[in-house]
Every structure is written in C-alpha cells, then in structure tokens.
C-alpha cells in the first residue's frame, strides 16, 4: 500500500516513463469518459465508490438543471413577461398570477449559483479522472476510497473544513449582495414597478442618472452625504478627544483607585446600545423628558432637542460621545500603559516640562498606535445606524429631501428607502456608493498597516 507521501508525490509530478513506450492510455480514456458521463471515468479507473457517488450527484444535478436552467436564464434576461392581473372569468374578476420579477430574479440567481458550483465539480471530476489515469499508466494502482478519504484528511483538511461555512456565506451573504447590486440596474421601485402587479425591467445606468441628475434626488443625496461626512468626522474626533482627555487624567500617577474609576467610566460601553439609545430618546423628549425638566426647573427655557434641525444634530453628537467615549478611552489607556516610564524620565532629565513631555512622547505614541483604529471608527461612524435610527430616526423631516430628514445618514436613508418606501433601485445605488467609500477607506487603511500584508505566524 503506497504511503500518503507517495500519494502526494505522484500527484504532483507523475513519474516519467523512461522504461519504455507507454502501453496504456488510461489518462486519455478516463477524463473523456468523465467528461461525457461524470463519474464513469472514475468507475473505469476502478474507483467504484467515488465513481458511483459522482454518477448519482451528476444524475441529480442534470435532472435538476434540465428543468430549471432554461427558466433561470430566461428569468434573468427578461425578469418576467406577464404581471399578475385581474381577468374576467364567468363574469367574476379573478386574480391570475403572472411573473413575479423579483422572486424570479432570486430563484434564477440561486439556480445560476448552483450551476456554477456544479461546473466546478464537473471540471474537478474530469481532472481527477485524468490524474488517476496517469497514475495507472505509470503502473501504480488507483487510490482506494479509503486512501482518498485519508488524502483529504491529511492534505485537504482546511478545504474540507471550509465547505459548510463557505456554502453558507455563498448563499446567505454573497447571493444577497449580488442581488442587491443587480437591483441598482433595474427600475424596482414604488409606485409603478412593484411586483406582482407590475413587472420590473433592466434599465442600465438610469438609476444612477436619476440619483445624480434629477435635482430632487441629487439634492437629497448631496445633502445627506454632506451631513454624513460631517457627522463621521465630528463624531470620530469628539469621541477620540474626550477619550484621550479622560485617559490622560486617569493615567496620572497621583490618581488612586484606578480600577474602580475605569470600571465606572466604561459602563456606557457595556450597556446594549439598543437600550441606552432608546432611553436617551426618552431623556431628550421635548415635553416630558428629564433634561428639559431640569432646564425649566432652573428657569432656562426648554430646548427642542430632537425636533429642531440644529439641536437634533447637536444631540446626536453629544449622545454619540456618551456611547463612544468609553471605547476610545479604553484603547488610549491601553496604549498609554505600553509607553515606557524611562522615556519620561529621560525627558525630565533633559528638562522637559509636563506639556513638552506630552507633546514629544505621549501624543506621537498614541497617534501611531491609534491612527488605524481612528480610520476604522471613521468608517464605522459613516455607517453608524444605531445612534441615528434609534435617537431621531433621521428626523426632523426635511421637506426638501426625498424620504430623508435632517439627521439621516446615507445608511439610514438607505434603510428608509428599502423598508419603508420600497424604492429599492435608488437604495441599491446608494448602497453601492457607500460600499465604494468604505472600501476605499479600508483598503487605504490596510495598506498603511502591516497586519494584513505580513501575517505569518509569530513563531
């Protein structure tokens, strides 16, 4: 019985036939057989179990695709021909179901994805038949089923582990994303193109043209984009600065009970955002909320915290400091603790004052370590759904905007467009733009740090 080692070697470099002319032509026959009837090449190679499994799989696959592939291609191209409609049958109007463009599109996508997967299996079956044929040509026996399993366990362990997660990601993440990207090139939107009563059609780049050229949409887009950028920058900067201030104050050597202070300060971070933000929404309630109650108690007027465009923006930034400061504080503290006290000692000997020490040692250290995290946080704030959605839900509404309010970010606007207003094509176009912005940020960031380039094991 050949050991696992030879199995591997013979796979990588088939033995040359220096000992005379090739007598058999298994490496030609087997792949051709498998190409005609997948699995038959394996049976020809005397790999009964593998061959039978492939035959069964292919039989199943071919009967499945025979009935679905045509519809899938047709569905993908046309997105359906006939909408549902009411027809008179014996004097009564009856709803006759037609083609549901969107369901058709998803079903077609599923079939096409499965088909590509099957093609990959098909090609590897042919390759496998070729390899085994080659091995038999050089006089070695074909691997038994047991040996194949051992081979997978020994050399394809990682790939075998990734099958289930990979399949899940393919259908639950990649397929939905492909679907949504495709929607940007259709007219799937309320009120005129919502199935089943209407059909959806491919419109090319019209959606993007609408978003950028039509003043009502482009005005909203630019307005919301401007506020999103402003929000991301201000939100990131304020949480960073406040976190830095608290961390610096706490890091002074004269401060006692550091652990207790630290625990108390990071409590907001530990409370689920969904709960703390809903509570904040109540706190800032204009009529009954405690904040306005205190203000009027002290004789100051009540403020429209969440209902006035300016104050709503102010409130979300303040609340975001409450939510985000603890994390910045934790991160900066952990950086501070890594700075060697010797550095400060040396600076003191040179006659540097407290401020100079901070400027020369502390800040460069923090910026060096925190910069990549700041970029991640900037990207995170760009898509900070929770704070905006739970606190103001994008409001107060802006009459000049299409379905957006004064505090809406691109991400909350996207959410409203899909789930409340059913304008899927525009939402999808916005999603694509958001992706490009975030991806640009992140790629730049990863280029800057070595962690992605060089991640060989430390030992």
Partner 1 sequence: MINRMSTKFRVIASYLFLAIVVCWSLYPAAWVVLSSFKPGKSLYSESFIPKSLTLDHYTELFQSGSLMFSTWYMNTFKVAIFSMLLSTFLVTITAYALSRFRFPGRKASLTLVLVLGMFPGFMSMVAVYILLMQLGLLDTHMALVIVYSFGSIIFNLFVAKGFFDTLPKGIEEAARIDGASNFRVFTSIMLPLSKPMLVFVALTTFTGAWVDFIFASLVLRSKEKWTVAVGLYDMVNSYQNAYFTLFAAGAVFIAIPITILFMYLQRYFVDGLTAGANKG
Number of residues that bind partner 1 (CB under 8 A): 94
Pick from 59, 97, 226, 290 the residue near partner 1 by CB under 8 A: 290
Cα–chain center distance at 147: 39
Give the C-alpha separation, 86 to 84, whole Å.
7
Q: Provide the minimum distance between the beta carbon of 233 and partner 1 in the complex, in angstroms, as a whole number.
A: 19
Q: Provide the minimum distance between the beta carbon of 144 and partner 1 in the complex, in angstroms, as a whole number.
A: 18
Q: In this complex, which beta carbon is closest to partner 1, that of residue 107 or of residue 198?
A: 107
Residue 53 binds to partner 1 (criterion: CB under 8 A): no
Q: In this complex, which beta carbon is closest to partner 1, that of residue 58 or of residue 402?
A: 402
Pick from 157, 202, 314, 363 the residue near partner 1 by CB under 8 A: 157
Pick from 153, 348, 359, 447 the residue near partner 1 by CB under 8 A: 153
Residue partners of 171: CB distance under 8 A and separation at least 6: 110, 113
Among 372, 377, 441, 390, CA closest to 239: 377
Pick from 113, 145, 151, 322 the residue near partner 1 by CB under 8 A: 322
Among 62, 80, 82, 69, CA closest to 109: 69
Q: In this complex, which beta carbon is closest to partner 1, that of residue 171 or of residue 208?
A: 171
Yes or no: say if 84 and 97 are a contact pair by the CB < 8 Å rule.
yes
Residue 171 binds to partner 1 (criterion: CB under 8 A): yes
Residue partners of 166: CB distance under 8 A and separation at least 6: none
Segment 218 to 247, residues that bind partner 1, using CB under 8 A: 246
Residue 175 binds to partner 1 (criterion: CB under 8 A): yes
Residue 142 binds to partner 1 (criterion: CB under 8 A): no
Pick from 49, 376, 396, 421 the residue near partner 1 by CB under 8 A: 376
| Torsions phi, psi for 93 (to 5 deg) | -85, 130
Candidates 82-90, 124-132, 228-236, 253-261: pick the segment binding partner 1 (CB under 8 A). Answer: 253-261
Residue 372 binds to partner 1 (criterion: CB under 8 A): yes
Residue 314 binds to partner 1 (criterion: CB under 8 A): no
Q: Provide the minimum distance between the beta carbon of 21 and partner 1 in the complex, in angstroms, as a whole number.
A: 35
Yes or no: say if 37 and 72 are a contact pair by the CB < 8 Å rule.
no
For tokens 């955002």, name the residue: 273
| Torsions phi, psi for 406 (to 5 deg) | -65, -30
| Torsions phi, psi for 92 (to 5 deg) | -115, 145
Q: In this complex, which beta carbon is closest to partner 1, that of residue 138 or of residue 393?
A: 393
Segment 110 to 129, residues that bind partner 1, using CB under 8 A: 110
Pick from 285, 307, 357, 421 the residue near partner 1 by CB under 8 A: 285
Pick from 415, 423, 425, 426 the residue near partner 1 by CB under 8 A: 415
CB atoms within 10 A of CB 209: 14
* Structure-derived torsion over alpha carbons of residues 150, 153, 154, 155, reported in degrees to the nearest 10: 110
DSSP string, 264-306: HHTHHHHS-HHHHHHHHHHHT-TTT-HHHHHHHHTTPPP--TT
Task: Give 187-227 as a 3 state SS string.
Answer: CCECCCCCCCCCCCCECCCHHHHHHHHCHHHHHHHHHHHHH
Q: Provide the minimum distance between the beta carbon of 369 and partner 1 in the complex, in angstroms, as a whole number.
A: 6
Show the site string, 421-450: x = touches partner 1 by CB under 8 A, - = not: ---x--xx--x--xx--xx--x---x--xx
Q: In this complex, which beta carbon is closest to partner 1, that of residue 77 or of residue 270?
A: 270
Pick from 36, 169, 241, 300 the residue near partner 1 by CB under 8 A: 169
Residue 97 binds to partner 1 (criterion: CB under 8 A): no
Candidates 12-20, 31-39, 66-74, 408-416: pick the segment binding partner 1 (CB under 8 A). Answer: 408-416
Yes or no: say if 429 and 418 are a contact pair by the CB < 8 Å rule.
no
Yes or no: say if 67 and 56 are a contact pair by the CB < 8 Å rule.
no
Q: Provide the minimum distance between the beta carbon of 317 and partner 1 in the complex, in angstroms, as a whole number.
A: 15
Candidates 106-114, 215-223, 231-239, 304-312: pick the segment binding partner 1 (CB under 8 A). Answer: 106-114
Segment 258 to 277, residues that bind partner 1, using CB under 8 A: 261, 263-276
How many alpha carbons fall within 13 Å on the CB side of residue 164? 2
Q: In this complex, which beta carbon is closest to partner 1, that of residue 28 or of residue 177?
A: 177
User: Per DSSP, what are the bridge partners of residue 96?
Assistant: 85
| Torsions phi, psi for 397 (to 5 deg) | -70, 150
Q: In this complex, which beta carbon is closest to partner 1, that of residue 55 or of residue 303?
A: 303
Radius of gyration, alpha carbons of the chain: 32
Residue 250 binds to partner 1 (criterion: CB under 8 A): yes
Pick from 71, 146, 154, 216 the residue near partner 1 by CB under 8 A: 154
Candidates 51-59, 148-156, 222-230, 357-365: pick the segment binding partner 1 (CB under 8 A). Answer: 148-156
């Amino acid at each position: 019985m050949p050991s696992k080692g030879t199995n591997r070697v013979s796979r990588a470099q088939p033995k040359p036939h220096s000992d005379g002319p090739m007598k058999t032509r298994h490496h030609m026959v087997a792949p051709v057989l498998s190409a005609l009837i997948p699995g038959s090449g394996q049976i020809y190679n005397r790999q009964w179990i593998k061959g039978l499994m492939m035959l069964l799989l292919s039989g199943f696959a071919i009967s499945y695709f025979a009935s679905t592939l045509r519809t899938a291609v047709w569905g993908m191209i046309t997105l359906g021909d006939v909408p549902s409609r009411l027809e008179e049958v014996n004097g009564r109007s009856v709803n006759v179901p037609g083609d549901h463009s969107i369901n058709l599109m998803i079903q077609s996508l599923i079939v096409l994805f499965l088909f590509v997967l099957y093609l990959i299996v098909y090609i590897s079956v042919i390759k496998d038949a070729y390899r085994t044929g080659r091995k038999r040509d050089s006089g070695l026996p074909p691997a038994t089923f047991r040996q194949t399993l051992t081979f997978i366990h020994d050399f394809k362990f990682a790939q075998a582990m990734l099958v289930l997660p990979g399949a899940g990601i393919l259908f639950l993440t990649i397929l939905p994303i492909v679907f949504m990207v495709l929607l940007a090139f259709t007219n799937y939107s309320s009120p005129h193109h919502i199935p089943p009563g209407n059909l959806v059609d491919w419109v090319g780049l019209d959606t993007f043209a609408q978003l950028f050229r039509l003043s009502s949409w482009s005005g909203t887009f630019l307005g919301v984009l401007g506020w999103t950028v402003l929000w991301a920058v201000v939100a990131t900067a304020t949480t960073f600065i406040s976190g830095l201030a608290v961390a610096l104050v706490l890091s002074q050597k004269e401060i006692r009970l550091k652990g207790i202070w630290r625990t108390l300060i990071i409590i907001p971070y530990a409370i689920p955002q969904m709960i703390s933000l809903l509570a904040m929404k109540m706190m800032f309630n204009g009529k009954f909320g405690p904040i306005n109650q205190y203000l009027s108690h002290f004789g100051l007027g009540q403020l429209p915290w969440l209902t006035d465009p300016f104050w709503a923006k102010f409130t979300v930034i303040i609340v975001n400091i409450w939510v985000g400061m603890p994390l910045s504080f934790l991160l900066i503290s952990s950086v501070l603790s890594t700075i060697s006290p010797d550095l400060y000692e040396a600076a003191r000997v040179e006659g540097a004052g407290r401020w100079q020490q901070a400027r020369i040692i502390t800040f460069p250290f923090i910026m060096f370590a925190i910069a990549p995290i700041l970029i991640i946080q900037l990207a995170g704030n760009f898509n900070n759904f929770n704070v905006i959605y739970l606190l103001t839900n994008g409001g107060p509404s802006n009459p000049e905007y299409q379905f957006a309010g004064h505090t809406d970010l691109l991400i909350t606007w996207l959410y409203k467009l899909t789930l409340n207003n059913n304008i899927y094509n525009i939402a999808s176009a916005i999603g694509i733009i958001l992706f490009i912005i975030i991806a640009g940020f992140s790629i730049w960031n990863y280029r800057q740090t070595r962690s992605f380039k060089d991640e060989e094991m430390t030992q």
